[in-house]
Chains A and B, each alone.
Chain A
Amino acid sequence: MKENNEQILVSRLLQKEEAAWKELFEAYSGSLAYVCSRYIIDRDHVNDVLQNSFIRMFRSIDSFEYRGNGSLKAWASRITVNESLQHIKQNSNFKIVADETDIPDVEIEEEPDLDEISQHEIMEMIRMLPDGYRTVFNLSVFEEKSHKEIAEILGIAENSSASQLHRAKSMLARKIKEYKMSKTAQYE
């Protein structure tokens, strides 16, 4: 069977060919920076984590298994998520918001409409979420982890993960709604 581009790149990466690693960087650094910025707000820290992620990839490329198109990117993203979480844990100021009273638990009935909101705006909204909410939200929505897995990763209780996610969702939905309203208001 003929190898596709991704497989060719992987075999070059395995030989630790500099040009191949540069190619990997050029191709994925932007989207990995996005993955990282979902978890970490400070730009400098994002860059540090990104750098560490690439170094981790370099050291562990031997363990990469090709499982079809896109698996290289998925693998790189997983490493970046792990590095991001590790960074969050090492930075002691990370805590799950325990005081549940400070955010009113408003149930939003209708589904927020994501059309006409740029990726950038959504990104900003996600980054505005409190650290704990955001981490759980990211793991659940983007990494598609179950509450059980999230609880294990973050060392919190399973139901705490569920409530964090619920609040994060309401908060984000409200932000999107507010954004939409302010947009409409501008045109009227």
Chain B
Amino acid sequence: MSNEWLNDLRRKMEDHTEDVPDGLWKNIREELFVEDENNGIPGSVPNDLKAQKAVIEFNWPLMYRIVGVAATVIVFLILGGLFDFTGKKHQPEIKKQYTVEDNFQEKPISNPVANYSEKDFGNQFFSPEQKGKQKKNSGQEYLKNSLTGINFSSGINLVDKSEIDLQNEIFSENKLTQKENKGTTTENPFVEETYPLMTKEERKKKEESEAKKLAFNKAKRNWMLGLGTGNASSNSTDQFPGYASLTGATPSLPEMWSLGSGEDPLMSILLANQDKKVDATIRHKTPLTFGASVYKNLGKKWSIGTGINYTKLSAELTSGSQSDFISSEQNIHYVGIPVQVNYNVIQKGAFTGYLTGGGTVEKAVSGDIKTKYIVDGAVKQEIKEDIREKPVQVSVNSAVGVQFKVVKYIGIYAEPGVGYHFKDNSSLKTIYKEKPLNFNVKFGVRILLD
């Protein structure tokens, strides 16, 4: 036996790569660069710290940050304890619900071979126009994206750009929360703090209706300014064999054989995985909600409230094998107006127990899907698409709430409840669609104004 085959082996393996986990660069970067940036913003997301810092210095005085962060920390410390106390009996219930509702397996997507049709297949992979259409994007744009995606360096620019976009977005969230937090710490924040969130017309209307209500209800005019973060505890993961896409169609394998390997990264993925077990995993992240609301007492037991809130829905989809896969990330941002009716059941000392019910109308204001094609462990192509579809999402919810008065005018509350999200007739895959019936816990702060 000569050793020639070992040289062949070395040559053959020369360009082999193994997959590298997503977080590795982040770890390395933290190790090498973060200390140079002096302290980052606490709790900052994996974004470009430099940019974030610059924006903050530019727009926000240090005071705002300190006040905002301090208020948030205090609120969460207190709520942590409260939630332990109020949330315990609800927690197991939630878990059970999700296993029962886990009906993903029954959906057609779980059985790609059986449901495969040539039409789906063609639509999904080989006709740019169709694909573009499906993803609510024009064919032209798709082609353009593909072209830039293939070029390695401009691919990187794309990522950077979207990172910056995302970061700006997150920053504006921070802005909102900080504004709210400031609200909680100011003595008389009602008029000034709620109003910036509305347009002029709304403001005028609001003033009128308030004047009316105040006149109408002179005896008991208790207004509360509430602000809360919602935390639906429904971070859900679904895994099933085969491929899937966030837009719904299902890729399939067998027909690949006759077509040969092209430059298409999707093709490379399918070819690389042709004899492997493939899985698709959809992970819906916990919806994040920030909001500001006003409540008005109607008599001793009843109160109504409305406001404005912002929700971010994220989902991740990974489809393929360990080293060759498609990875998509979908982010949709909603702005909504909730209307709530509360009924106070019990009041003992600083505690108030109440039932609440109402509805929310939310409109998607923006959204995007980022798709990465990873072939042999390396990012082959990266596409970012905007979601053109901006559905209106209607939901109803009902909850049991506990409010604890911290000081005379400031109360914090926790509301474990259940919500139902109606179909929005869009093709978007969101957690609301997978699990219309949703358990959630909302926390918040209310300021009571006499």
Contacts and interface: CB of A to CB of B under 8 A. Distances in A.
Given A21-B32, A111-B1, A123 B18 contact: yes
Interface string B318-335: 000001000000000000
B118 interface: no
B1 A173 contact: yes
Interface string B1-23: 11111101110110111111100
A30 B20 contact: yes
A50 B24 CA distance: 9
A33 B20 contact: yes
A114 B377 contact: no
Contact of B156 (A16, A21, A26): A26
A114 B8 contact: yes
A110 B5 CA distance: 10
A179 interface: no
A33 B2 contact: no
Given A110-B1, A114-B9, A119 B16 contact: yes
Contacts of A33: 17-20, 377
A135 B234 CA distance: 46
Interface in B22-42: 24-25, 27-29, 31-33
B227 interface: no
A30 B33 contact: no
Contacts of A144: 10
B24 A58 contact: no
A34 B28 contact: no
B1 A51 contact: no
Nearest to A121: B275
Contact of B6 (A16, A47, A169): A169
Chain B contact-residue range equals 20 to 34
B180 interface: no
Contacts of B17: 30-31, 33-34
B46 to A, nearest CB: 13
Given A29-B25, A111-B1, A173-B1, A55 B18 contact: no
A21 B4 CA distance: 37
Contacts of A29: 20, 24-25
Given A120-B323, A141-B6, A30 B376 contact: yes
A34 B16 contact: yes
A15 to B, nearest CB: 12
B29 A119 contact: no
B364 interface: no
A111 B18 contact: no
A21 B379 CA distance: 16
Contacts of B28: 21, 25, 51, 54-55
B113 to A, nearest CB: 20
B20 A50 contact: yes
B176 interface: no
A24 B71 CA distance: 42
A119 B17 CA distance: 9
B9 A141 contact: yes
Contacts of A30: 17-20, 376-378
Given A112-B5, A119-B13, A122-B13, 16 more contacts: A21-B32, A22-B156, A25-B24, A25-B25, A26-B379, A30-B17, A31-B16, A33-B19, A34-B377, A50-B20, A50-B24, A51-B27, A55-B28, A141-B10, A142-B13, A169-B6
> Which 4 interchain pairs have the tightest Cβ spacing?
A30-B17, A33-B18, A30-B377, A119-B16
Interface of A: 16, 18, 21-23, 25-26, 29-31, 33-34, 36-37, 46-47, 50-51, 54-55, 58, 107-112, 114, 119-120, 122-123, 141-142, 144, 169, 173
20 contacts: A18-B29, A18-B32, A18-B33, A21-B28, A22-B156, A25-B25, A30-B378, A31-B15, A34-B13, A34-B377, A47-B21, A51-B28, A51-B31, A54-B28, A58-B32, A107-B1, A114-B9, A120-B323, A122-B13, A173-B5
